[in-house]
Structure 1
Amino acid sequence: MISSITKSKIPIDFSYVLKTSQLEEILGRENIITDVTLEYWKPQIIGSIFEVHYWLPNENNPFNRLYIRAGAILKKDVYNAREGLQKEVLPEFVKWIKNIEQLEKSSPLNTERLFSGYYRNNKVFIVKD
């Protein structure tokens, strides 16, 4: 479930790669139960199209949550980037979060984590921990 969405204005020659409806559909279809905050942004790192921070409960929030930043890239690259996001990045994200959600709360593997998808030179790249 997406609990919050923030969308910043971007220059006219840029476009966001992720569509909110696309993320909502995946979260629902895959029964991902972790709360999501979604922020659309123009990243400082060129080509960052999908960045996910997995956060554990703390004194301000009593539950696990995902902070997702959806990046913008030049419009000329958005078609290829969306294809890579759909075919490679989002399926890997689903596997990644499903593995985390299956962990016991007390597991030493249940830690804060980062998942990132990048688009460079007409290819997508994934970095995760």
Structure 2
Amino acid sequence: MIQFERIHHVSLAVRDLDKARAFYSDILKFREIPRPPFQSKGIWYEVGDQQLHLLEHPISDTLRERGIDTTDGHFSIWVKSYSETKAWLDRMGVEYVASPDSVAGFAQIFVLDPDRNIIEFGAEYGS
């Protein structure tokens, strides 16, 4: 039997690493961490105890073309405050779909990165 401890990282394909860095580093304020010298281009971020790995694929059939669909594949980050996260996204001009009273049992905000990868921010109700 596999004894799971935690998710280590999520990897996402991006078309333009500079655009992705501007979004994840400058807008979302993720902290970039060192990345081994792979032959491929990418950026690694620390997100709590886990990591997000962005991998540049200028031509990729795996990237989405549509808008936010909360039933599509995505990754979720738990945040301390729903209202502060929503206010930050407003200030930064990031479009989102918000569900403050989601049937999920917690508040949800969904956004798209520049390559249309879906990111969910989850928080306690009323936070």
TM-score interval for Structure 1 and Structure 2 normalised by the shorter chain: under 0.3
State the TM-score, normalizing by the size of structure 2: 0.27
State the TM-score, normalizing by the size of structure 1: 0.26
Structure number with the bigger relative contact order (C-alpha 8 A, sep ≥ 6) is: 1
Comparing both structures, which one devotes a greater share of its residues to helix?
1
